[in-house]
Amino acid sequence: MQTVKMVISGAVNAGKTQFIRAISEIEVVSTERKASDDTKLLKGETTVAMDFGRITISDDLVLHLFGTPGQKRFDFMWEILSEGMLGLIVLVDSTRPETFRETNRIIDFFTSQRDAPYVVAANKQDHENAWAPDELRLALRLPAHVKIVPCVATQKDSVKNVLLELLYVIMQRSAD
Amino acid sequence: MALVGNLRDFALADFLYLIDRGYKTGSLQLNRQSAAATLYFEKGKLLYAAQAQERESLGEMLQRTGKLTPQQVQQAVQLQQTDGNQSLGTVLVEHDLITREDLQRHIQTHIEETVYSLFGWPDGEFCFNAGVKLDRDDVQSPVPLGVENLIMEGVRRVDEWGRIKDHIPNTDMIARFVDQPLEKAKSINLTPDEWRIFARINGKDSIKEVISRTGLSEFDVSRIVYGFISAGLVEVTRPRPPVPATGRAGAGAAAGAPKRSLVSRIINRIRGM
């Protein structure tokens, strides 16, 4: 059985758990559930360790989805998680500009570690005060070749679309 | 749809960059404690800026700067009251108390100073409403201002190491020009120190090397490079990790790139979900 993995990262409350939950065929495994810092203020059940989901591709191939811890104190896990990943999805909460700086830090970390394909998912596009993807590109200063995909992490079709967009990027860089 | 946030998290320089590059039209409302300011933009350029607590009228400003005497201001105010709906600026120009160009230059300077003062706000709520246009008579409207110079000068007046460090976390970073930097640079005025650094940006040398060649301090070089970044002239990147000698130099495929057939299988599966 071959397994491949994708990493879902983003600042606290960007929607990583919801994203994986929307598409995983198994109940999302979260290794710890009790927030112990100010992230409690943002949501009742925040990710303090990591989320894990799975999609069976075929009898001999499985795709694993790993959600990274949002809090800065778990940075050390990012490097471990990114080892051998197929690609990376960076979720950004489009309604909270105060998280854009942290989002940039995450992108910077992963892109400096390895030359991994990635897309940015502009989550919470169904919210009235969401910044549009074009505005996020400018705010995050993303180069034109990096895809910013509109996303609603609670909707399966939207999550599928983000995964597919990442896979198209991976496909362009794949070997024959 | 309004863009809302706080300057603490998304600096004014970043917002002006977004306005410029996004070719935005609209009004930006800023509020901090009891202070408030409004900026109007059209197609990415600044049209007008004013602080709510401003007490100085146009006449008072022109008097303070020596452009008009108190008697001339008084005369203009009386004429304005007689003429009815005309603005003071229109009265001043129509009665040859000031040329249109002089009036616009003074208003422009006032607008610029207003914006520079906003760079000193460490925080403050902002709300950008796209599409809102300035309702103002032509005589008092200066020529739309490009925001690049505003950013450069505004950043010169900012001493925030923390904000600079967000963009330039260490001096190993490499500065390089973004696309078409010369086009942007044409409208930007640089100080001699800024030119010294500008001339040494080559996409290869680290900030550390620029520091050693210019003899300027780390803070000064970082602050100037931060200004270039904020104005959209320059971007900084980490140095690329060395490529192993045995690494595969595939055509566009990174080392360890997955096989196309594997990616196709995953795509088909996701599509079918």
ipTM of the complex: 0.86
Give the tens place of pLDDT for each residue, B162-174: 678 778 888 889 9
Nearest to A115 by CA among B229, B178, B263, B244: B244
Q: How confident is the model at residue B254 (pLDDT cuts 50, 70, 90)?
A: very low
Q: How far is CA B136 from the centre of its chain?
A: 23
- Residue A174 to residue B166, Cβ atoms within 8 A: no
Q: What band does B143 get if pLDDT is binned at 50, 70 and 90?
A: confident
Structure tokens at B242: 């060395």
Angle at B147 between CA B145 and CA B153, to 5 degrees: 110
Please give the full DSSP string across A16-72, using - where no structure is assigned.
Answer: HHHHHHHH-SSPPEES-----SGGGGT-SS--SS-EEEEEEEETTEEEEEEEPP-SG
| A116 neighbors A110 (Cβ within 8 angstroms) | yes
pLDDT band at B107 (very low <50, low <70, confident <90, very high): confident
Q: Which two tokens stand for residue A26?
A: 């198994």
pLDDT at B228: 85
Chain B CB contacts of A175 below 8 Å: 250, 253, 257-260
Q: How many CB pairs under 8 A join A and B?
A: 106
Pick the most confident of A23-32, A34-43, A59-68, B130-139. Answer: A59-68
Q: How confident is the model at residue B3 (pLDDT cuts 50, 70, 90)?
A: very high
What separation, in Å, do the N-terminal and C-terminal C-alpha atoms of chain A show? 21
A163·B270 Cβ contact <8 A: yes
Tell me the two tokens of residue A114. 């390895």
> Does the pLDDT at position B247 exceed 50?
no
Distance between the two ends of chain B, CA-based, in angstroms? 33
Closest CA to B187 of B20, B39, B24, B40: B20
Of B199 and A10, more confident: A10
With a cut of 60, say whether residue A66 has pLDDT above it: yes
CB contact under 8 A, B269 and A128: no
State the residue for tokens 């990635």.
A118
Highest mean pLDDT among A77-86, B104-113, B234-243: B104-113
Start-end ranges of CATH 1.10.10 in chain B?
Answer: 160-237
Whether residues B271 and A160 touch (CB distance < 8 A) is answered with yes
Let me know the angle formed at the C-alpha of B83 by B77 and B84, rounded to the nearest 5 degrees: 95
**Averaged over A78-97, what is the pLDDT?**
89
* B224 within 8 A of B194, measured Cβ to Cβ: yes
Higher-confidence position of B54 and B151: B151
Strand arrangement of the beta sheet that strand A51-58 belongs to: A29-30, A51-58, A61-67, A2-10, A87-93, A118-123, A148-150
DSSP symbol at B155: H
Distance between CA atoms of A126 and A141, rounded to whole angstroms?
A: 23
Instruction: Tell me the shortest Cα–Cα distance from A19 to chain B, in angstroms.
Output: 14
Q: Which residues in chain B are closer than 8 Å to A111, comparing Cβ atoms?
A: 238
DSSP structure string for B186-233: TT----HHHHHHHTT--SSSBHHHHHHHH---HHHHHHHHHHHHHTTS
Summarize the confidence of residues A57-81 as an average pLDDT: 79
- Across the range B59-69, mean pLDDT stands at 84
Across residues A138-160, what is the average pLDDT? 95
Sheet containing B3-6, strands listed edge to edge, beginning at the edge strand earlier in sequence: B3-6, B125-130, B26-32, B35-42, B45-51
> Given an 8 Å threshold on Cβ–Cβ distance, is B3 in contact with A167?
no
CA distance B145 to chain A (A): 20
Domains of chain A: 2-172 (3.40.50.300)
Position B31 pLDDT exceeds 70: yes
Judge: B266–A4 Cβ closer than 8 Å, yes or no: yes
Q: Is the pLDDT of residue A40 over 80?
A: no
Residue B186: its pLDDT value, please?
56
Which whole number is the average pLDDT over B230-247?
69
Whether A22 shows a pLDDT value over 50: the answer reads yes
Q: Average model confidence (pLDDT) for chain B?
A: 82
Instruction: Select from 1.25.40, 3.40.190, 1.10.260, 1.10.10 the CATH code of B160-237.
Output: 1.10.10
The answer, for A101 touching chain B at a CB cutoff of 8 Å, is yes
DSSP letter at B240 equals: P
Is residue A175 within 8 Å of residue B261, measured between CB atoms? no
Strands A61-67 and A2-10: parallel
- Tell me the three state secondary structure of residue B261: helix
